[in-house]
Chain A
Amino acid sequence: MNGARVLVVDDEVHILRLLRRTLETNGYTVEAAESGREALEAVGRSVPDVVLLDLMLPDIDGLEVCRQLRERLEAPIIVLSARGEERTKVSALDLGADDYLTKPFGTAELLARLRVALRHAARSRTGPVIRAGGLVVDLDRRLVLRDGAQVHLTPKEYEALKYLAQHMGRVVTHRALLSVVWGPEYAAELHYIHVLVNQLRRKIEPDPAQPRYILTEPGVGYRFTAPE
């Protein structure tokens, strides 16, 4: 991903400077914006490959910036927020952000999230067969194999797994998953999702108590990962 252009939006100049240094050292090209307005102007000039967006901005509400960026951009957006702001994170994700990082974060975590976001953007349309560890989701044949053996899923379990797998590596909010599986009119019935995901884990996880594929993002949603 060397050379990928990152738009960093943060009103703290020190953080901005450190992020620029860190990202440039790791081979990224960095464009910086110190306000929501600057960010929106920046994407008008050149299209970034990925956006790092702090939600606490001096001028426009961070969520609004997120919404407007999503309208203009295909590129993944990673929002930066403080701890304890799960509701804000969830709103940002529901408004089109792809992932979030909780401040303060380590460099390794930041780089990992950037890699996932860019990899996903590079093949934004997943192929007909998604593989993660010993798990295979065959979208054409609506088949799920675990270590080569077919797993029998209910239609809703299959829809949930399909959506999670298509968004591999990225966080999927409870609400998003619920809308996909049940339809938007059920968006308030979040408890359905917890029950459904637990059923799904019992069928696909080697140890449902310590999930490897479907990870819980506390208070936000779930993340499908491929175990290393």
Chain B
Amino acid sequence: MRPDDDQTSASTDDDRLTANDAAERVGVSPSTLRRWASLGLFTKNDTTGGWGPSAIAQARALLKLRERGYSIEQIQQATEEGRLVGYSEELVGEVVGERYSLAEAAEQSGLKPAVIEELIAAIGLPAAALDDLGAEDVEMFGFFSTAIESGFPRDALLQTVRVYGQAVSKIADAEVRLVHLHVHEPLIRDGVPSEKIEQQMNVITAQLLPLFSPVIDHLHRRFLNHFVEQDIVGHMEDDAGASEIGQVRVAIAFADLAGYTQLTEEVGDEEAAGIVERFVANVNQTLPDDARILKTIGDEVMIISSDAGSLTDWAVGFQMLNNERPLPRIGVHCGNVVFRDGDYFGREVNLAARVAARAAAGEVIVTWPLVEMSGRHLEFEPIGEVQLKGFSTATELFLASLADEASE
């Protein structure tokens, strides 16, 4: 059933808009919206009359396609092939319902409009989001307002929401891409009719979506516990006054696969990506409790640890567990770094990356502070003072390995 074209002045219920309101929400004229609907460009229309969240979200996606130059015929064909399936009522959430201007949202939440603008930018939402604020947005701003009122510094709040935005957008991106690659695309390739694709996608969405928020909430609490524990240990171990405000002392390791570019040439992208996936999983599975992967960039992982000794031990032990090409190469360094937006910055991080770049396949290269902190079970062969790229002074580097049992 098509959305009810006759309703032009009043919403049918809370979740349904009139054609005029829907057109305004999408950014096209009511006649364009009706024409798209009559051409069957929507793969899912509302069954209760009016225009609901799914239809509006789909119409917005269609508008984007039109803006990118796709013709109505091309879109029609894609719809018939099931390529434009993707939106269900559960997925799109709050695209209908009451809208708020920036001033109204500011008044309701207790934040200044400029602060809301800053927060939206920090989260990573486009500026256009400010023209489309819903009740849940206003509620979120209310939480931020409470945080500021309770004494949480504004700069720290901005950093926190920046991390939220980056992390959550990464999760959403991964969810959509993985469903696309492993569910939607195979159905299209198998020539499954569009109605069946839509049906299957809706079932998956309906079954999976309710799980996401509780799972993320649960994991968030698990990680909070872990990091609070780490923080307490860090307080005990940190030399008072050794780091400036906003800085932390950490051990940093960079690890990647030597010869990975050549390997990609030899085995192809798919197999090479699988090798990287196993490498990152191996790192993740074997890291000590006080260390974690901060990020991955291609075949490179950046690891942070509060315990320099155990990170160096891990690096040497990890190399001993790898005896097949492509062999990892690892550089470890430690020092005071700036913590900002959930990431670590500064000279010492750059230095750690350069140290890793000096390592050959199967090697662990470390700097002097690590040599000082490590036990006698490791030995460190001096490489000499090396002029690392971008650094004005030379850095003393050492090749770490297991000591002879006799010398322990």
- Do A and B make up one complex? no
